[in-house]
Chains A and B, each alone.
Chain A
Amino acid sequence: MNVLPFMIIIPLLGAFATPIVGLAGRRAREAWAVLVSGATLGVAGKVLYDLWSTGKVLVYTLGARSPLGEGGFPIRIVWELDLLSGIMAFTIAFVAFLAIVYSLEYMSHDTGLEKYYTLALILELGMLGIVMTGDLFNFYVFLEIMSIASYALVAFRNDTWEGIEAGIKYMFVGSLASSFILLGIALLYGEYGTLTMAYLAKLMGENFTLTAKIALALLMGGLLFKSGAVPVHMWLADAHPAAPSSISAMLSGLVIKAGGLYVMARIAFSVFGLGVNLKTLGWVIILFACLTLIVGNAMAIVQTDMKRLFAFSSVGQVGYILLGFGIGLAAYGTDVGRVATAGAIYHIVNHALMKALLFMVAGAILHQVGSKNLNELSGLARTMPKTTAALIVGSAAIIGLPPLNGFAGKWLIYESSALFNPFLAAIAIIGTAFCTAAYIRVLYTFLGRPSERVMGAKEPGNAMLVPMFILVVAIIVMGLFPWAISEKVMVPAASMLANIKGYITAVLGGA
């Protein structure tokens, strides 16, 4: 049985049924949300396993057996998944599941929770749709589903000023970015007359026009915004602190990657790969990557608000991923390029885990102590040792210390950037130095002398601790087998991403 459609069906059904199930009471609603996201995780796991074991691009056509109409070109919406999509889908389902379990306790003091779980499931649905789709307009629809759900979730606590402020900021500029993307898609449709990514890629390979270049610029502009790259990162530093922490975990761990980085890689490699000058595109991305690395990490050092610090650190980490993809494009077809792409994919997964963990830690502290100001939180290690242990693991992983998973992903990026251009490696190292400084500062605060404010704090309940410790275990276990994971999963994913022809023929057949 093809389980692929259930990756959309289950969260969609789950989201739409939540208000009805919610009538049966709070427990039923929570059980339903956990059940739905758990089932989605199961499906995503199966899909990832299928993709990994067969090593083929998986195509699913909506409404018929074959995407091709009588004219011999694709007329239907297709879903097209390669290994990268599978990895993304699994990461999304995994972190979203943990975030929903975490919300059971974390959100228990809020009202309007039937809307919360509906929106959270819709957010997951939007992200899964983005990574699955092989159709450009379909992608836009899922992007908007994801974006609108995240606007609503950022402003979910609408009795706080910061939630509303961040929500408005995010929505205004986010809508602008989305409309750039839509404009780009419209231009492409006007020029080539198709919206199927694979067919579009083929047509572009034959005739790459100025309009396509303009469309690419618009798409990239919109996607850089969605991924929080530097000139357009300001929404992120407001949205992440203002959102409920379970949502920050999803926003920072998943949304910027599914809606921004993944699509950027997909569009750059699979759609425009045959037409555009990959070297130029790669260097443009590298330029933004360097800015993002330095600014994001440097801004993280000066923050006093814990969640803002994590948000800026997310910006900085996006820089590494962009750098990996940028080098993957600029050095397309070489070993260096493949290693860089594999490093970027690896770091996407790693960062999703660690940043979700860190935001959950921040949420637990906010929930228990009621402050996220670092100056007030000194000595928290004494009263919340388990939470602090999770924080230490998360921050050590994000700096990239060897026994944890952050090391291997970053190592691949350092190594490939040093081989590609030593100057870029120096920038990456400077970024890491800033990142280290920022996290050591957090650690210093947490370990110091307990302040009066934290003396009454207690550990959160199991519903919050268990997701955190599942992430800690995932980080440690992934850290123990870095090269096996890299060889068996990440490098094949990078090769599949770089195999543009394979992506096209999977839909068009031999044509």
Chain B
Amino acid sequence: MNVIYATLGFLGVYAYVSFASLLWGGIDRKLVARMQRRVGPPLFQPFYDFLKLVSKESIIPRDANRLFELSPVFALAASITLLAYTPLGFEPLFGTKGDVILFVYLLTTIGFLRVLGAVSSGSPYAQLGAQREMIILASREAPMMLGLFTILWRLKELGVTKPFSMGTFYEHNIWELGTPLSLIGTLILLFVFMAWLASEIEVGFFDIPEAETELAEGTMAEYSGRHLALFELANAIKAFVSASLVVVVFFPWGISQYLGLTGLPAMAIELLFHTLKVFVVLFVSMSVFRAVTGRLRITQAVGMFWTRLLPASIVGAILLAIDALGVIV
């Protein structure tokens, strides 16, 4: 019975996140337009785009193999699966101990499937984009994983029921420590996570694999119709999920206890509040970042990950570790 309820809840979450993430796409475009003194598209523009793409003919290049058609489906499947392990204001539906590795794995898989799809198209533009995506993929996850695992390890020390699971953050959060050292470490990691988020959703500095003006859409160059729609939806969900990770690591506070709600209404209100936080995080990391910065070259971006963000992440992790050891009180 539990499994059935969980599955129903999962479907509900999927429907909700699909809606919310596409809606955010519209809000983002509107906001960026306003920043540049344009009127911008209507809020529901991504929905129209999606529907139009679905109804259009999908063109399969002559040199493409089967994975070209399969990888958008797999990418969407991976992002839907990811929702089962994403904290959305309440503990993930299928959360269990150690599920953080599954979370990172699935998140990376979506990027990797984009690469596979692009390589399978046989187009040199897409292949160039795929190579760049692969390089970025290999570079960007290290700082994030270091930060995430450090924080989870630190929270485990405080005593949690399911160590190294995404639900952990609702039992304790990293600000609770309150010591100056942990505060500095956490702020550094927050910076790393915001930069990671920008690169995960490929905006601003990190709009490299798609690089519209330079590489003619890069990885997505050959996709059209349904297949592109699936990828767009998967990307939108991925953006929402990535931002959810940042929200849950750094801003996991809920509001239901203040409103005196329990049960299903509490979950609903938490979900809405979580969505609001996700939008705020995405506003900073996506809209503002996208509007005020240009694209980096691939070498610069990789250099940034390995020489700026990874060291920052290491420093943050060391500060948290020193704090845990209690050397400096």
Contacts and interface: CB of A to CB of B under 8 A. Distances in A.
B142 to A, nearest CB: 11
Interface stretch (B23-31, B115-123, B191-199, B275-283): B115-123
A415 to B, nearest CB: 10
B99 to A, nearest CB: 11
Give the most central of B64, B65, B67, B102: most A CB within 10 Å: B65
Interface string B37-73: 0000000000000000000000000011111000000
B65 A382 contact: yes
Nearest to A378: B122
Contact of B65 (A381, A401, A402, A440): A381
A388 B64 CA distance: 14
Interface residues on B, range: 10 to 19
B175 interface: no
B317 to A, nearest CB: 15
Give the most central of A382, A447, A450: most B CB within 10 Å: A447
Give the most central of B66, B102, B123, B127: most A CB within 10 Å: B66
A381 B67 contact: yes
A448 B127 contact: yes
Contact of B119 (A385, A402, A448, A450): A448
B120 A381 contact: yes
Given A381-B66, A382-B63, A382-B65, A447 B105 contact: no
Interface in A436-485: 440, 443-444, 447-450
Contacts of A379: 63, 65, 122
Contacts of B66: 381, 385
A401 B102 CA distance: 10
Contacts, number: 36
Nearest to B61: A449
Give the most central of B102, B105, B122, B124: most A CB within 10 Å: B122
A449 B63 contact: yes
A176 B30 CA distance: 76
Contacts of B127: 448-449
A22 B134 CA distance: 53
Contacts of B67: 381, 447
Interface string B80-108: 00000000000000000000001001000
21 contacts: A379-B63, A379-B122, A381-B67, A381-B120, A382-B64, A382-B65, A382-B122, A385-B65, A385-B66, A401-B105, A402-B105, A447-B65, A447-B116, A447-B119, A447-B120, A448-B119, A448-B122, A448-B127, A449-B63, A449-B122, A449-B123
| Minimum-distance CB pairs A-B, first 7 | A381-B65, A449-B122, A382-B65, A447-B119, A447-B120, A385-B66, A449-B63
Interface of A: 379, 381-382, 385, 388, 401-402, 440, 443-444, 447-450
Given A402-B102, A443-B119, A447-B119, 16 more contacts: A379-B63, A379-B122, A381-B65, A381-B66, A382-B63, A382-B64, A385-B65, A402-B105, A443-B116, A444-B119, A448-B119, A448-B122, A448-B127, A449-B122, A449-B123, A450-B122
